Amino acid sequence: MNNDTPQHFVFLLVDEFTHLAFSCAIEPLRIANLISGKTLYKWSLMSANGKTATASNDVVTQVDRGFSELVRGEMLFVLSGLHVKENTTPELLSVIRRERAKGHLAGALCSGAYCLARAGAMNGLATSIHWDFHDSFMEEFPEVKLVRNVFVANEKYITASGGTATADLMLHLIERDYGHDLGIEVADMMLHNSVREPTAEQKLSLQSRHGIRNAHLSKAIKMMTDNLEHPIPPSEIAEEVGISARQLERLFGRHLNCSPKKYYVDMRLQKARNLLLQTEKTVTEISFLAGFASPAHFARVYRNQFGITPMNQRGKIV
């Protein structure tokens, strides 16, 4: 991009936004200006009250404006964090729809993709959101193409999953707009020496997390991950990956210190917990979505795992 006009990003900070994602969005832009000796980027901050925004770590940030209309050349990024559903107000949705109609919507960071999806902006688009929101997001927005990538930059609206993935996205945009050399220099200045590509997955692989290199175990866990609502018996998983049920038991015991059944149930219970905390679905609905045929059985297993009933979990502040 050989344009003397700086790009101007307006970051709409939703209450309880993630401060790490915010810093990772702003700092690469600042450093790009510093290294280039030019004002390549400008940015301003927006919030509902037009004065301040409070992050999830209770840090209060002064902002430049309220929900006033953007002007030509400004592009909007929505940045949110915890309790995004409760913080997605009708006024916020009106801003997103208004700026989308005017062609000023750039995208969303961290859980901000939820706000855009609620506004109807992400239907049919590949979308990245923090992994902690995946279960509830897929249930609420089946028409959105949710991906596990750290960010998506090749769609009409850009999305990043939050945290340091926001820095990866900004470095990608800097390189795209002003060349590979500047992108590398900015990354070096940030001591960010392992810039991830968009296709990188958010969570560490099984190999990275546990040092596991066994292909059979990795394939078995992927099958479990892809079939939480309709669990597959361990014997069928073993047959599919090409080993005996006894060998599968040994692999899980050796590498993960539990049985395949226990690992599978733990995954399903974690999905149930996410849905309890992030959606309004009934306990019965959630029990089925997590692969439990009986709500009563689900409640017993859940209490054994987390020390609290599913109904009480919903009212517990975390």
Judge residue 28's burial from the number of C-beta atoms within 10 Å of its C-beta, 0-12 exposed, 13-18 middle, 19 or more buried.
Answer: buried
Query: Are 78 and 110 part of one and the same domain?
Result: yes
Cα dihedral 54, 55, 60, 65 sign: negative
The predicted structure's pLDDT at residue 316? 55
pLDDT tens per residue, range 26-53: 999 999 999 999 999 999 999 999 999 9
Residue 287 host element (H or E): helix 283-289
What one-letter code names the amino acid at 227? N
- Model pTM score: 0.76
Query: Are 151 and 284 part of one and the same domain?
Result: no
Query: Are 54 and 168 part of one and the same domain?
Result: yes
The predicted structure's pLDDT at residue 318? 42
pLDDT cut 70: percent of the chain above it: 93
Residue bearing tokens 């970051």: 11
- Give the domain CATH number at 303: 1.10.10.60
Cα–chain-centroid distance for residue 216?
A: 28
Query: Are 150 and 270 part of one and the same domain?
Result: no
For residue 122, name the pLDDT band (cuts at 50, 70, 90): very high
| Number of compact structural domains in the chain | 2
Q: Is the pLDDT of residue 194 over 80?
A: no
Domain span at residue 35 reads 7-189
199 inside domain: no
The predicted structure's pLDDT at residue 248? 93
In whole angstroms, what is the distance from residue 283 CA to residue 164 CA?
A: 34
pLDDT tens per residue, range 145-178: 999 889 999 999 999 999 899 999 999 999 999 9
The predicted structure's pLDDT at residue 3? 61
Query: Are 262 and 122 part of one and the same domain?
Result: no
pLDDT tens per residue, range 206-253: 555 555 668 899 899 989 999 999 999 999 999 999 999 999 999 998
